[in-house]
Chain A
Amino acid sequence: MTSVILIDWLEAILRWSAPLIICSIGEVYAERSGIINMGIEGIMLCGALCGVAVCYYANSQVAALLACLVLGAVLGLVVAFLTVSRRTNQVVTGLMVNMLATGGTEIVFSMMAATRHNRATTFSPLFPEAMQQIPFIGKIVFAQPWSTWVAFILPFIAGFILYKTRWGLNVRAIGDNPQAAETAGISVIKVKYQTVILSGIFACLAGGVLTLASSGYFAAGGMVNGRGFIVMAAVVVGGWDPIKTMLVCVLFGAADAAQLRLQTIGSAIPNQFLQMLPYVITIIALTIMVKRSRVPKTWGAAYDGRKD
């Protein structure tokens, strides 16, 4: 009995972490270039609805993901225009995007009655069903939808790009010293646009994965339920490194999965406290870890070009 619960929990950890990890990739790039995209919570919510809706009506997962990609890019572009070109306050901008997304998805969802009762087809596992029969790890690893596998490979690619490519070097330079990057002949504004648009794309895709890799339906405003904010914390705790951030995402995913399971097996602790678990862990992790990591020097600050 306990091993069934354990297997179920470990399987859920991987599945729950996947959207967090995907979302964190873009946010790491944006914050490394100095822009905090706080709108990822809302963009993720849009992605969750977009994925389900397109998948259901077009009956195509490819179309759903493409739609998420385009929607994410557009929303990222909006955030980039505001925070990079108009130099608006990044916190206020993010809050605004999140509120718009909550209201916007609510309206759109209410017009799509059909998706309420019918599930969209969810992602299939990457490996043949026979492999799920392998004791213990079969259920945990090989039952995972392909999106989970992608999520756990992405941080390594993202790390390579950040540390080993010219573009990654530009991103790191811009977040720490945009004036230096500008004098070295890099277009600071262009790179910031690129990273913020990427953060939009990844957040939107993460939303799509959130719904299409598990339930297959959208559940109104509470769908994303602070995952975007958890990702923001994970990026800070992970020291703006894609792989470390992935590990933190897994930790948060574990807490989330644990509280759900503890609720169902009837723990003596009240539900409300269990639900707080992931957030409590986030706060504890932030307090312990933040001092140790090196913050991008212009983190959250507007860049106005020629100032010395």
Chain B
Amino acid sequence: MDNKAYALKMQGITKRFPGTLANDHITIECEHGKVLGLLGENGAGKTTLMNILYGLFRPDEGQIFIDGEEVEIQSPSDAINHGIGMVHQHFKLVDTLTVIENVVLGLPTMKQVLDLAPAKEKLLKLCHEYELFVDPDAEVWRLPVGQQQWVEILKALYRDCKVLVLDEPTAVLTPSESNNLCRAISKITAQGKSVIFISHKLREVMEITDNVTVLRDGKVIGTIATKDATQLKLAEMMVGRAVEIERRPRAKVPADSEPVLVMKDVNVYDERGVHALKNFNLTVHAGEIVGVAGIDGNGQRELAECISGLIKPQSGTIEIKGKPVTGVISDPSFLGFIPEDRHKTGLVLDFTVAENLIIKEYMKAPFAKKGILQYKEIGSHANEMIDKFHVKTSSKDVAVKTLSGGNQQKVVIARELNPEPILDIASQPTRGLDLGAVMGVHDVLMQERERGAAVLFISAELQEVMALSDRIIVLYSGENMGDLDGDTADQAVIGQMMLGKRI
């Protein structure tokens, strides 16, 4: 077929990294005025492919055509000059600068002495045209993440891009913001611009795209017109087997089950003085999973951190099995805590797997004797954990940062849950993991429930909260919006509560 028909064609792209083949002869084609979905699990090679398109990586093989002409893209400025705009999964915005400063940053057409007034005018026109409203003079760090994404999109449109790449754009958006995004995308394509929409959420891909290319393990599994696809079919292509998150069958929690975590009238203010938890009450019983639903940033982090003693509530009481929480809990048989950011707080990335596994108990026997680390004990403990929790790693002695996200999380889980704590807090434990790894985490949490642990499961993914929880509470703006039974809870009702409606 004539290449001219495509706004963008990447042909036979191959990229090798030491030890892996990230992209294996990938070909994608994006038509004018259409949305191409790029679907795949984490590590399937989507982001690598897009970084090649944007000049951040150089491909080992393959060609890139724009409007039928072969182009060389060696740097982001080449990509911008060829009309490619990209909204990265992790935003490339300078927080401390204003919106308009971010928009004009790096623009070769700006005069040496900045004249921002016409730029602001042009930006506001774009805001209206695409109904993505932002204040040009606001500093970016003050904006909610949704609006930061508008800035990224407007930045690309300001540069008059022909192909706009959106890498997992909805991960940070509320449902209503997602609708805004959909509307903007249809306006963008109506002008003949093309959009590449990267996601692993099937529903969105079905709604937004015209064609879908599915990637797995660095290879193209297939490309189909969205109207001929079903969610189930795409899911099978994506993971290579049939999948669906179903509610886990379980026995009822006994009515006389002992309360483990009791929180009464807890108030927490975060470091900026925002009232993060408001008169919060919660009881979690032994052998019960309580799911916390809610859009990210509504007090979830503060909830997890005040229970684990990392932050001190301004008022109220928190008791675990009758003992008040007064400081950081260091007894691993008391509390197992899977923090929401495994890179920053869960692991020391440059330490080995073995070291990370004992990081909470390194000073105790048998891992240390008279202040000297016992590497033999540490090593055999590590091998035991690697077997028991199925951690895929070449050795116990490699830096934990070389493991995949799912296996890093297994290391955290092994460390936190192996001592059989009476209370587990799992804060966003499946974030950024692919489906297989998500299932693994769910299995572990169900086992913890069977063991009789009290489990507090915090997640922004409503589907998994509903699949796993015996009881569901909804957090909105630091308030507990209500307590629902997991068996009978209705997704639509929870969705409303997540947006602040009391039902």
Contact with B along A176-207 (1 / 0, CB 8 A): 11011111111000000000000000000000
18 extra A-B contacts, CB within 8 A, seeds A164-B114, A169-B104, A183-B54: A164-B113, A166-B114, A167-B112, A169-B105, A169-B114, A170-B105, A170-B106, A172-B94, A177-B93, A177-B95, A180-B93, A180-B105, A182-B76, A184-B106, A185-B77, A185-B80, A297-B95, A306-B56
Question: Is A184 a contact partner of B112 (Cβ separation < 8 A)?
Answer: no
Question: Is A166 a contact partner of B111 (Cβ separation < 8 A)?
Answer: yes
Q: Using a CB-CB cutoff of 8 Å, which residues 99-124 of chain B contact chain A?
A: 101-102, 104-106, 108, 110-114
Q: Using a CB-CB cutoff of 8 Å, which residues 124-178 of chain A contact chain B?
A: 164-167, 169-170, 172-173, 176-177
- The reply on B133 being an interface residue by CB < 8 A is no
Q: What residues make up the interface of B, taking CB atoms closer than 8 Å to A?
A: 54, 56-57, 75-77, 80, 86, 88, 90-97, 101-102, 104-106, 108, 110-114
Question: Is A185 a contact partner of B56 (Cβ separation < 8 A)?
Answer: no
A186: contacting residue among B91, B97, B105, B113, CB under 8 A: B105
Residues of A within 8 A of B94 (CB): 172-173, 176-177, 180-181
Between A and B, 19 residue pairs with Cβ closer than 8 Å are A165-B113, A166-B111, A166-B114, A167-B112, A169-B104, A169-B105, A170-B105, A172-B94, A172-B96, A173-B101, A177-B94, A180-B92, A180-B94, A181-B105, A184-B92, A186-B106, A294-B96, A297-B95, A297-B96
Q: What is the CA–CA distance of A172 and B97 in the complex, to the nearest angstrom?
A: 8
Q: What is the CA–CA distance of A190 and B454 in the complex, to the nearest angstrom?
A: 56
B273, chain A: closest CB distance, angstroms: 16
Residues of A within 8 A of B96 (CB): 172, 176, 294, 297
Q: What is the CA–CA distance of A218 and B323 in the complex, to the nearest angstrom?
A: 71
Residues of B within 8 A of A184 (CB): 76, 92, 105-106
B15, chain A: closest CB distance, angstroms: 13
Q: Is the interface of B mostly helix, strand, loop or mixed?
A: loop
> Which 8 A-B pairs give the minimum distances between C-beta atoms?
A184-B106, A185-B77, A180-B92, A185-B106, A183-B92, A173-B94, A177-B94, A184-B105
| Cβ-closest chain A residue relative to B88 | A183
Question: Is A185 a contact partner of B111 (Cβ separation < 8 A)?
Answer: no
Residues of A within 8 A of B56 (CB): 183, 306
| Cβ-closest chain A residue relative to B110 | A166
Q: What is the CA–CA distance of A180 and B113 in the complex, to the nearest angstrom?
A: 21
Question: Is A176 a contact partner of B95 (Cβ separation < 8 A)?
Answer: yes
Contact with B along A278-308 (1 / 0, CB 8 A): 0000000000000000100100000000101
Question: Is A181 a contact partner of B97 (Cβ separation < 8 A)?
Answer: no
Residues of B within 8 A of A181 (CB): 94, 105-106
A185: contacting residue among B76, B90, B91, B112, CB under 8 A: B76
Residues of A within 8 A of B111 (CB): 166
A190, chain B: closest CB distance, angstroms: 12
B121, chain A: closest CB distance, angstroms: 18
Q: What is the CA–CA distance of A243 and B321 in the complex, to the nearest angstrom?
A: 58
Residues of B within 8 A of A169 (CB): 97, 101, 104-105, 114
| Cβ-closest chain A residue relative to B96 | A176
Q: What is the CA–CA distance of A185 and B105 in the complex, to the nearest angstrom?
A: 8
Q: What is the CA–CA distance of A164 and B95 in the complex, to the nearest angstrom?
A: 18
| Cβ-closest chain A residue relative to B54 | A183
Residues of B within 8 A of A294 (CB): 96
Residues of A within 8 A of B113 (CB): 164-166
Residues of A within 8 A of B106 (CB): 170, 181, 184-186
Question: Is A177 a contact partner of B110 (Cβ separation < 8 A)?
Answer: no
Residues of B within 8 A of A165 (CB): 112-114
| Cβ-closest chain B residue relative to A185 | B77
- Which of B86, B96, B102 has most A Cβ within 10 Å? B96
Residues of A within 8 A of B76 (CB): 182-185
Contacts known (A185-B75, A185-B80); A179 close to B92, Cβ less than 8 A: yes
A164, chain B: closest CB distance, angstroms: 6
Residues of A within 8 A of B110 (CB): 166
Q: What is the CA–CA distance of A247 and B452 in the complex, to the nearest angstrom?
A: 64
| Cβ-closest chain A residue relative to B105 | A184
Question: Is B92 a contact partner of A177 (Cβ separation < 8 A)?
Answer: yes
Q: What is the CA–CA distance of A176 and B56 in the complex, to the nearest angstrom?
A: 20
